[in-house]
């Protein structure tokens, strides 16, 4: 398996949940890492253990500023662009800021990458681009009408990358993440993802609130699978694999009721009192896709991707991390 090693890599959003996992992984394999983050959603504690590493450099700055982007790409061989404002509800509440960061910031980064002569640009997309398509599993070439400003921004990212590949000879790879979870994912705030948010609720003996009747399903994807996919996308040499987008997932789905029951069971193994906490149901959330399950055949075929950690094991790992760190 061809993974990044001995390279100079820029990770935008490198103090975020996914970005910090990439920074740790890259440094473990003797890469030099530049982390660009403005700490709008990233956390300094996610990278505090990297500060003394001579191969790690932090640039505190915003991708909406072109000069910052140009500074960040100096001498870089590969860009892993993770910086974005996530969350469908956040984008519905504030579409302008989501657009400014996710589209204008993306455009700044890909222009800076092009102008620096860097070929390989790997970027985070999202399963939200499938919108109202009822098809399961989700296949890369068939999407529906998007349902949120956040999804629009990710679709625009994909189109910009495709055009930059065809016009300027760049090698772009987009990764459509499906409900990523795991260590260092923030449980706090109004836009926290469901697994860390529910974990925090259970650990406080508070009932988590499931949006809708709990039948909505997701292809929950453990963080190690996303780290692997970024490595493979950065190193793939097959021309047919470039200027493409790929689903990054496990190719399976779990509904919210099932996920919540498993999560409670694993947490109760550490604190039996949690087994007495029952979830509640609330209204369906605007902009949500009812069901999400990926076809990973394209990533398997062209990137050599294979999920390293399936959902149940990933959930156990995540629970252990939260128990130790919250």
Q: What is the pLDDT of residue 286?
A: 81
DSSP 3-state percent helix, strand, coil across the chain (nearest 5) = 45, 15, 40
205 a catalytic residue: no
Helices 194-203/311-325 angle, 10° precision: 50
Q: What is the pLDDT of residue 306?
A: 97
- The closest alpha carbon to 35, from 53, 18, 58, belongs to 58
C-alpha distances in Å from residue 30, one per residue of 3, 24, 26, 59, 221: 11, 10, 7, 20, 26
Q: What is the pLDDT of residue 152?
A: 98
User: H-helix or E-strand containing 173?
Assistant: strand 171-177
Flag whether 90 is in a domain: yes
Q: What is the pLDDT of residue 2?
A: 87
Total number of domains constituting the chain: 1
Length of the chain: 326
Tens-digit pLDDT string for the chain (326 aa): 889 999 999 999 999 999 999 999 999 999 999 999 999 999 999 999 999 999 999 999 999 999 999 999 999 999 999 999 999 999 999 999 999 999 999 999 999 999 999 999 999 999 999 999 999 999 999 999 999 999 999 999 999 999 999 999 999 999 999 999 999 999 987 888 999 999 999 999 999 999 999 999 999 999 999 999 999 999 999 999 999 999 999 999 999 999 999 999 999 999 999 999 999 999 988 877 788 999 999 999 999 999 999 999 999 999 999 999 98
Question: Hey, what are 315's tokens?
Answer: 């959930």
What is the distance between the alpha carbons of residues 298 and 305, in angstroms, rounded to a whole number?
A: 9
Q: What is the pLDDT of residue 129?
A: 96
Flag whether 267 is in a domain: no
What is the distance between the alpha carbons of residues 41 and 189, in angstroms, rounded to a whole number?
A: 10
Q: Supply the range of the domain harboring residue 237.
A: 8-181+222-252+293-309
Block residue for tokens 């609130």? 209
Q: What is the pLDDT of residue 170?
A: 98
Q: Helical H runs in 194-281?
A: 194-203, 223-235, 256-268
Q: What is the pLDDT of residue 326?
A: 81
Tell me the three state secondary structure of residue 125. strand
Block residue for tokens 């453990």? 222
Flag whether 105 is in a domain: yes
C-alpha distances in Å from residue 244, one per residue of 56, 62, 114, 140, 292: 30, 27, 17, 9, 20
Flag whether 104 is in a domain: yes
Q: Within a 13 Å sphere around the CA of 238, how many CA atoms are in the beta-carbon half? A: 11
Q: What is the pLDDT of residue 288?
A: 79
pTM of the model: 0.96
Q: What is the pLDDT of residue 168?
A: 98
180 has which bridge partners?
A: 221
- The closest alpha carbon to 296, from 234, 237, 227, 225, belongs to 225
Q: What is the pLDDT of residue 151?
A: 97
Q: What is the pLDDT of residue 59?
A: 98
Cβ–Cβ under 8 Å, residues 251 and 287: no
Strands (DSSP E) found in 61-157 = 78-81, 120-126
- Per the residue annotation, which of 150, 177, 246, 305 is the catalytic one? 150
What is the distance between the alpha carbons of residues 321 and 326, in angstroms, rounded to a whole number?
A: 8
Q: Write the CATH number for 117.
A: 3.40.50.720
Radius of gyration of the chain (CA): 19
Flag whether 304 is in a domain: yes
């Amino acid at each position: 398996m061809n993974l990044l090693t001995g390279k100079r890599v820029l990770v935008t959003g490198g103090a975020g949940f996914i970005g910090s996992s990439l920074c740790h992984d890259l440094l473990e394999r003797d890469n030099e890492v530049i982390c660009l983050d403005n700490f709008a959603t990233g956390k300094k504690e996610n990278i505090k253990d990297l500060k003394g590493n001579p191969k790690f450099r932090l640039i505190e700055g915003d991708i909406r500023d072109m000069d910052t982007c140009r500074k960040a790409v100096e001498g870089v061989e590969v860009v892993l662009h993770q910086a974005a404002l996530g969350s469908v509800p956040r984008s519905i509440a504030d579409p302008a800021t989501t657009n400014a960061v996710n589209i204008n910031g993306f455009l700044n980064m890909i222009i800076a990458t092009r102008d620096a002569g860097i070929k390989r640009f790997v970027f985070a997309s999202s399963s939200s681009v499938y919108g109202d398509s009822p098809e399961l599993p989700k296949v890369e070439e068939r999407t529906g009408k998007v349902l949120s400003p956040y999804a629009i921004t990710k679709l625009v990212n994909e189109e910009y990358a495709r055009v930059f590949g065809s016009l300027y000879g760049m090698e772009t790879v987009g990764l459509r993440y499906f409900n990523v979870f795991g260590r260092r994912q923030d449980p706090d705030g109004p836009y926290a993802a469901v697994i860390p948010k529910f974990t925090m609720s259970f650990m406080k003996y508070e009932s988590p609130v499931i949006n809708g009747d709990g039948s909505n399903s997701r292809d929950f994807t453990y963080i190690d699978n996303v780290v692997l996919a970024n490595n493979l996308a950065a190193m793939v040499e097959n021309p047919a694999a470039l200027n493409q987008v790929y689903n990054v997932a496990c190719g399976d789905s779990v509904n919210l009721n099932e996920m919540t029951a498993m999560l409670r069971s694993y947490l109760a193994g550490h604190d039996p009192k949690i087994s007495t906490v029952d979830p509640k149901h609330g209204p369906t959330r605007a902009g949500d896709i009812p069901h999400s399950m990926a076809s990973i055949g394209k990533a398997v075929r062209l990137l050599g991707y294979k999920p390293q950690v399936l959902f149940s094991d990933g959930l156990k790992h995540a629970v252990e991390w939260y128990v130790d760190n919250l």
